[in-house]
């Protein structure tokens, strides 16, 4: 079976009680759905090490979608789009230290 390359965009958003987190998750979900036809939200748990060295639990929403882009051919478009996503999220979530936007190639079976 032939494979088709896609670029997956993942945005890691903390799951915190402040309503802004839910709003940005909804708005980015709408954006990714409008731009690429759909998206998925995975709620997950993790851990992080605080600046004082304590290991703390962490709840995170991972919002992701597969785009029609190909890594080699569309690198400039992919980089610009991901930077814009990151800037929107960081601007909306002023206090958050790290918002991760991750990209990687995935292959779909046609």
Closest CA to 9 of 62, 61, 60, 64: 64
Question: What ranges in 43-105 are assigned the alpha helix state H?
Answer: 75-92
pLDDT tens string, the chain, 110 residues long: the values are 788 999 999 999 888 888 888 898 999 999 999 999 999 999 999 998 988 999 999 999 999 999 999 999 999 999 999 888 888 877 877 665 667 889 999 999 97
- Token couple for 77: 């478009």
How far apart CA 2 and CA 98 sit, in angstroms, is: 38
How far apart CA 49 and CA 47 sit, in angstroms, is: 7
For each of the domains in the chain, give its residue range(s) and CATH number, in order of start.
3-109 (3.30.70.120)
The pTM of the full predicted model, rounded to 2 decimals, is 0.85
């Amino acid at each position: 079976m032939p494979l088709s390359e896609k670029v997956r965009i993942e945005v890691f958003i903390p799951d915190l009680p402040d309503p802004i987190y839910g709003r940005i998750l909804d708005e980015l979900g709408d954006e990714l759905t409008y731009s690429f036809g759909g998206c998925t939200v995975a709620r997950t748990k993790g851990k992080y090490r605080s600046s004082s060295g304590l290991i703390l639990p962490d709840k995170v929403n991972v919002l992701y979608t597969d785009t029609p882009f190909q890594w080699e051919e569309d690198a400039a478009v992919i980089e610009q789009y991901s930077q814009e996503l990151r800037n929107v999220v960081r601007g909306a979530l002023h206090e958050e230290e790290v918002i991760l936007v991750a990209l990687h190639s995935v292959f779909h079976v046609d």
